[in-house]
Chain A
């Protein structure tokens, strides 16, 4: 009960007018950071961190965590409006969010995305409040084999999703894996596939590739039909928020399941990106109408957004209790804590109770503040689509170029972005699916790394992936999911065979 008292105290601190103002400033800045691709939450927090040293730590952390919230919310905006994911975990949001915007339902998609984000984050904060000490230790069980098993499960959830030619799906996925492998091999320190080029040492950053493959290629595809964007007729009034809210309760089960997937992935700590893909994959598999996914189903927005934000939020738990950052943003926050003289880790919850509960309180309030700010702004965001095509196209190209550059301050990345844009255009027109490529690019090297670390640990014994119930269980679930389409197909074939036999 002491915790609840401290949490209430935390609320009291966070609700002081000065801190409320900081929250608002933080959320607005965060949304801006989330909207501009390349400028991640890590940049915003890193740059503002020095400014916050003049404040008391609680105020500073309130402002910084609100930037974090704002960035989480903001990532969905460009995904839905322009097919450009501002953050890795917004990629899955584009699959259905962008088609919705093209159909003139941008407001609906944005509202669904923001509300789901809020819900996912809220579930995660409640979990942190009440069961933090119990689950904090859970991340410790995750060694390399368990980590590999989780990655394997993410892939398994997604395989069999793509429509069209399986050969093209496979080729796209392999291309993604190869791109992920370029650069330094973390296990042996060797340079792979750089072919002596200094620019290639860096490898292919996910964001640069995605800005090109999704954003630039989309501009090229859409102008074939004339110099305008589809979806310009988007309704832009606040009623769309209420209308969408009336529809959302129908998806309560989906939201809860996605939130749980997100929390699990955040604690483990695999992170928000695999969580969003996994949740999308599961939602599609469990749906009665899987073919409708990718064409603008609201579930396709709810599932990844809920999971990504549940994961992004619960990832703060291993950071605070173990000192392991779940994302670059969390890593910079971690650096901030150290500068305020707070040492993240198991002792933080014991020695700095007030700080921890102040942070948790700010998570509740920051989440609410974030939702209010972005929902009020929905019509404005949707109105961006009404800007005349020549202006908006030039602005998107500019923002993409800046985004590609800022990822690692390299002019070569802008060239790469353009190349990826043309590649994406060609692949899209030839029906190569881009989602498997991106999934492989995001998770490829971490998966390989975990696999090889596991084998180092086991002296080359593959049995390590089944050495305990945890990794064995996850692996088994993944294998079952992989075999699912084959099983379903076999059953259907059998059934039709029987039917024919009976008819004959």
Chain B
């Protein structure tokens, strides 16, 4: 479902000043119905019957999937029937979406970078980026804050609690 927000945004934008709520309702209902259908499909593979000694592996997921698909499709009815103000309601306006994206997009990069750079470097970069782009900090305060974040996290997790977090080339170089 992660992609629905991003994909729908430009399409709906041509006719109004934001993403319509009805479009999101439809997308969400369809996505949930799809999940329900996937559950039904996988459960029938496992056996969704009621055996001699109670339900089989797929019994509960099958019915739950069916209910999920059913309710999701039923949720479509009021959306498609809606007229007037209810149909025009906004899910998110463009300025709002821009604000959300200003946090979401760097976060996506952050998550994508963790396997490559390790969590410490990525976190330091995230802190510095947020401070300089979203706040009015200069690199003079952002850089020390970023380094401090990474160091505190490192000492707390790796040294104190002996919890290994994802590490990248820099940590390897330092011998961890």
Q: Let me know if chains A and B touch directly in the complex, using CB atoms closer than 8 Å.
A: yes
Residues of A participating in the B interface, judged by any CB pair closer than 8 Å: 32-33, 36, 39, 43-44, 47, 165, 167-168, 170-171, 174-175, 177-178, 181, 185, 187-188, 190, 192-193, 195, 216, 219-220, 223-224, 226-227, 388-391, 393-395, 397-398, 401-402, 405-406, 409, 411, 414-415, 418-419, 422-423, 425-427, 429-430, 432, 448, 451-452, 454-456, 459-460
CB atoms of A406 and B137 under 8 A apart: no
Which of A36, A178, A220, A393 meets B134, CB within 8 Å? A393
- Considering only residues 25-84 of chain B, those with a C-beta below 8 Å from chain A are 25, 28, 32, 35-36, 38-39, 42-43, 46, 51-58, 60-61, 64-65, 67-68, 71-72, 74-75
CB atoms of B46 and A226 under 8 A apart: no
Q: For the complex, what is the distance from the CA of A415 to the CA of B114, rounded to whole Å?
A: 10
What are 6 of the A-B contact pairs (CB < 8 Å)? A165-B75, A223-B99, A223-B103, A395-B149, A425-B5, A426-B28
* Residues of chain B at interface, number, CB under 8 A: 70
Residues of B participating in the A interface, judged by any CB pair closer than 8 Å: 1-2, 4-5, 21, 24-25, 28, 32, 35-36, 38-39, 42-43, 46, 51-58, 60-61, 64-65, 67-68, 71-72, 74-75, 91-92, 96, 99-100, 102-104, 107-108, 110-111, 114-115, 119, 123, 126-127, 129-131, 133-135, 137, 145, 149, 153, 156-157, 161-166
CB atoms of A429 and B24 under 8 A apart: yes
CB atoms of A405 and B119 under 8 A apart: yes
Q: For the complex, what is the distance from the CA of A411 to the CA of B119, rounded to whole Å?
A: 10
Q: For the complex, what is the distance from the CA of A426 to the CA of B64, rounded to whole Å?
A: 22
Q: Which residues from B are CB-within-8-Å of A397?
A: 107, 110, 126
Supplied contacts A171-B75, A178-B65, A423-B2, 11 more A-B pairs, CB within 8 Å:
A167-B75, A174-B36, A178-B35, A188-B56, A219-B103, A389-B135, A394-B129, A397-B110, A409-B164, A426-B5, A459-B53
Nearest CB of chain B from residue A76's CB, rounded to whole Å: 20
Contact A456 B53, CB 8 Å, known A192-B58, A223-B99: yes
Nearest CB of chain A from residue B22's CB, rounded to whole Å: 10
Which of B42, B64, B119, B135 meets A401, CB within 8 Å? B119
Give the residue name and chain of the B residue nearest to A411 (CB): B115
Q: Which residues from A are CB-within-8-Å of B119?
A: 398, 401-402, 405
Q: Which residues from B are CB-within-8-Å of A192?
A: 42-43, 46, 57-58, 61
CB atoms of A426 and B99 under 8 A apart: no
Q: Which residues from B are CB-within-8-Å of A432?
A: 28
Q: For the complex, what is the distance from the CA of A39 to the CA of B36, rounded to whole Å?
A: 33
Q: Which residues from A are CB-within-8-Å of B38?
A: 193, 195
CB atoms of A391 and B53 under 8 A apart: no
Q: Which residues from B are CB-within-8-Å of A171?
A: 32, 68, 71-72, 75
CB atoms of B134 and A390 under 8 A apart: yes
Q: For the complex, what is the distance from the CA of A430 to the CA of B78, rounded to whole Å?
A: 13
Q: Which residues from A are CB-within-8-Å of B68?
A: 171, 174-175, 178
Nearest CB of chain B from residue A394's CB, rounded to whole Å: 4
Q: Which residues from A are CB-within-8-Å of B52?
A: 459-460
Give the residue name and chain of the B residue nearest to A188 (CB): B57
Q: Which of B1, B38, B71, B157 has the most C-beta atoms of chain A within 10 angstroms of its own C-beta?
A: B71
Q: Which residues from A are CB-within-8-Å of B156?
A: 32, 36
Interface of A is mostly: helix
CB atoms of B5 and A422 under 8 A apart: yes
Q: For the complex, what is the distance from the CA of A187 to the CA of B61, rounded to whole Å?
A: 14
Give the residue name and chain of the A residue nearest to B29 (CB): A171
CB atoms of A429 and B91 under 8 A apart: yes
CB atoms of B28 and A414 under 8 A apart: no
CB atoms of B111 and A418 under 8 A apart: yes
CB atoms of A181 and B60 under 8 A apart: yes
Which of B4, B55, B137 meets A455, CB within 8 Å? B55
Q: For the complex, what is the distance from the CA of A429 to the CA of B90, rounded to whole Å?
A: 10
Nearest CB of chain B from residue A42's CB, rounded to whole Å: 11
Which of A181, A219, A419, A425 meets B64, CB within 8 Å? A181
Q: Which residues from B are CB-within-8-Å of A389?
A: 134-135
Q: For the complex, what is the distance from the CA of A454 to the CA of B2, rounded to whole Å?
A: 39
Nearest CB of chain B from residue A444's CB, rounded to whole Å: 9
Give the residue name and chain of the B residue nearest to A455 (CB): B54
Nearest CB of chain A from residue B9's CB, rounded to whole Å: 12
CB atoms of A170 and B67 under 8 A apart: yes
Q: For the complex, what is the distance from the CA of A238 to the CA of B56, rounded to whole Å?
A: 57
Contact A193 B39, CB 8 Å, known A405-B165, A406-B163, A448-B60: yes
Q: Which residues from B are CB-within-8-Å of A174?
A: 36, 64-65, 67-68, 71
CB atoms of A390 and B114 under 8 A apart: no
CB atoms of A223 and B100 under 8 A apart: yes
Q: Which residues from B are CB-within-8-Å of A170?
A: 67, 71
